Amino acid sequence: MDLRLSPVTAPITARPAGPARAAQSPQDSGFAGALSGALNAVSASQNEATRLQREVQMENPAVSLEETMVAIQKAQIGFQATLHVRNRMVQAYSDIMNMQV
């Protein structure tokens, strides 16, 4: 799972408002696109771990227990990292909302 952000090379311009903004894909929206991509990667990792776990339970000889345990650990680490990012974002939002203007 690769969570590195790619550098922004295009100049920053004003974002369109209304329907034109809604038509943009999540990949074009900078931080939101990176966050969405990371969440999709974590979800895919969890789905793969679940699939491997099911295959081990059905005694599929092509799937090893070691491979399954590694996939489960990767999914767990990805989920924990996502949870920490969410907690930090909620804390930052709370800090900003509590600031006096």
Q: Tell me: the pLDDT tens digits for 7-56? A: 545 444 445 555 555 555 545 578 888 889 999 999 999 999 999 999 99
In a domain, 17, yes or no: no
Q: Which residue is it, tokens 């000889």?
A: 61
pTM of the predicted model, to two decimals? 0.64
CA distance 87 to 85: 5
Range of the domain at 42: 30-97
Q: Would you say residue 88 has pLDDT above 50? A: yes
User: Into how many domains does the chain fold?
Assistant: 1
Residue 7, in any domain of the structure: no
Q: Please, are residues 67 and 52 in contact by the beta-carbon 8 Å criterion?
A: yes
Specify the pLDDT at position 100: 85
Residue 13 domain flag: no
Per-residue pLDDT tens digits for 42-75: 999 999 999 999 999 999 899 999 999 999 999 9
User: How far apart (Å, rounded) are the C-alpha atoms in residues 24 and 30?
Assistant: 11
Contact 21, 15 (CB under 8 A): yes
